Amino acid sequence: MNEFSSARTILDRSKATREEWLALHDQHLGASDAGAIMGLSKYQTPLSTYVTKKGLQPHQDDNDFMKWGRLLEDLVRREFPTDYYQKEGKSVDVFECPFMYESTENPFMCVDPDGFVTIGSFGEGRRGLLEIKTTTRANAKYWKDDQVPDQYYAQCQHGMYVLDLSFTFIVCLMDKTLLWRTVPAKRVFMSEMVKLEKRFWNDFYLADEMPGPSGQDTDTDLLLELYPRAEDVTVDLGDLWNVERYLALKEEIAAKEKEQELAKQQIIQLMGVAHRAVAGEHKVSRVQFKKPVFDISLFKRDHPKLVEKYTGFTSVDYPRIS
C-alpha cells in the first residue's frame, strides 16, 4: 500500500509483533529520533540513540506513563474531532494509520504516524499528519502561547519530510484537558534536520563509531553502564584539558551559588517582615508550609528490627575528579 510518492510502506504494525517493529525501527531513524540527533530532546541524545539501535543497551521497558499514554491514544483520536468542532466551529476528519513508512530519497528515515487529518481551513481534501501526546500540567510551560516542545516540533518536521506533507496536527491530552497545535512544514528546518540525521547515520551508525556525549545527565549514566569499573585497571590520561576544565567549572559554580544565595539574603533583608514584594514585573513572596520530617534516630531506637529488615544498600558508581 504505497500512497505517498516520497515514501514506501515497509510494515503493517497491526500484523507485526513489538519485537519485529523494534528490529525494523532500529535499522532506521524514526521521527522520535530527530529531536535527539538535533540536540532538542530532554530524554534522548545521539549517544543513547546509537547504543540502543546498535543493541549495546536494551530498549527501555514501558513505564506506567508510557503504557497509559499508548492506551489513551485511541481515546484522544476518537474524541478530538468533537472537541475541535466545539471550540473551532470547523469539522476535522481523523484517520488511524497502522503503517510504517520509509523515505525513498533517504531510506534510513522512517515514520510511524499516529494518524492523518483533513481540516477545512487547510483546504478540502488536503491531508496532514496527526501526532498524539499525553502530559501533565507540570509541562504546561512548553505548550503556552501555541508553542510545541522542541523535541515534538522536530518529530513533526521529520514525519512531514518523509511523507511530503505540509502540516501536522499535534493533539495533546494534558491531564484532563485536550489541546492542539498546528505545525506547518518548514523547509529550512527540514534541510538542517536531514543534514544532521544523514551525518549521524553515515559517520556513526554505518561506521560503527560511537558519537561523543552531549552533556546531558542521561549520557553520564549511560557511559557508566557501558564501561563497568575494573578495580585492577589504571590509565594515564596525560595532561587532559577536560580535567582542568571540570575543576575550574566546579569552582565557578560554587562561587555563583554563593553569589545567588547572597542576592536572596539581600532581598530578604530589604523585605523585612513583608509577606510580598514587587520589583518591576517580578514578584517576591514568602511562603510557609509544613514539611514532614522523619526522625530516623527515634525510629531506630523504638523499632530496631524493622530498621534492619527494611534497610538495604545500593551500589553507586560515579567518577570522583580531584
Residue 198 Cα to chain centre, angstroms: 21
pLDDT computed for residue 251 by the predictor: 95
Residues in the chain, total:
322
Q: In this structure, is the dihedral angle defined by the CA atoms of residues 25, 27, 30 and 36, taken in order, positive or negative?
A: positive
For 80-126, the pLDDT digits (tens) are: 988 988 888 888 899 999 999 999 999 999 999 999 998 765 445 57
| CA–CA distance, 114 with 143 (Å, rounded to integer) | 20
Q: What is the Cβ-side half-sphere exposure of residue 99, based on CA atoms within 13 angstroms?
A: 15
Q: Other C-beta atoms within 10 Å of 266: how many?
A: 10
Q: Once rounded to an integer, what is the mean pLDDT over residues 218-246? A: 89
Amino acid at 287: V
| CA–CA distance, 281 with 300 (Å, rounded to integer) | 50
Amino acid at 89: G
What Å distances lie between residue 158 and 20, 89, 110, 127, 192, CA to CA? 22, 30, 8, 16, 11
Q: Once rounded to an integer, what is the mean pLDDT over residues 245-260? A: 95
Q: ∠194-200-203 over CA atoms, to 5°? A: 125
**DSSP strands (E only) in 124-271:** 127-135, 167-174, 177-184
Amino acid at 113: P
- Cβ neighbors of 319 (< 8 A, separation 6 or more) are 224
Q: Which phi and psi (to 5°) does residue 313 adopt?
A: -130, 145
Q: What is the DSSP string of 293-321?
A: ---HHHHHHH-HHHHHHH-----------
| CA–CA distance, 213 with 115 (Å, rounded to integer) | 34
Q: Once rounded to an integer, what is the mean pLDDT over residues 60-86? A: 80
Does residue 235 surpass a pLDDT of 80? yes
- SS3 assignment, position 257: helix
- Cβ neighbors of 120 (< 8 A, separation 6 or more) are 90, 91, 92
Amino acid at 312: G
Does residue 292 surpass a pLDDT of 50? yes
Q: Once rounded to an integer, what is the mean pLDDT over residues 155-162? A: 98
Cell 491531564, located at residue:
175
Does residue 1 surpass a pLDDT of 70? no
pLDDT computed for residue 123 by the predictor: 47
Does residue 76 surpass a pLDDT of 80? yes
Cell 530524554, located at residue:
43
* CATH no. of 7-217: 3.90.320.10
For 181-227, the pLDDT digits (tens) are: 999 999 999 999 999 999 999 999 999 999 999 999 999 999 999 99
Amino acid at 141: K
What Å distances lie between residue 123 and 115, 118, 156, 162, 244, CA to CA? 18, 8, 20, 21, 59
For 125-155, the pLDDT digits (tens) are: 578 999 999 999 999 999 998 899 999 999 9
Average pLDDT, the chain: 90
Amino acid at 117: V
Q: Which phi and psi (to 5°) does residue 251 adopt?
A: -70, -40
Sequence ranges of the domains in the chain: 7-217, 241-310
Three-class secondary structure assignment of 184-231: ECCHHHHHHHHHHHHHHHHHHHCCCCCCCCCCCHHHHHHHHHHCCCCC
pLDDT computed for residue 62 by the predictor: 67
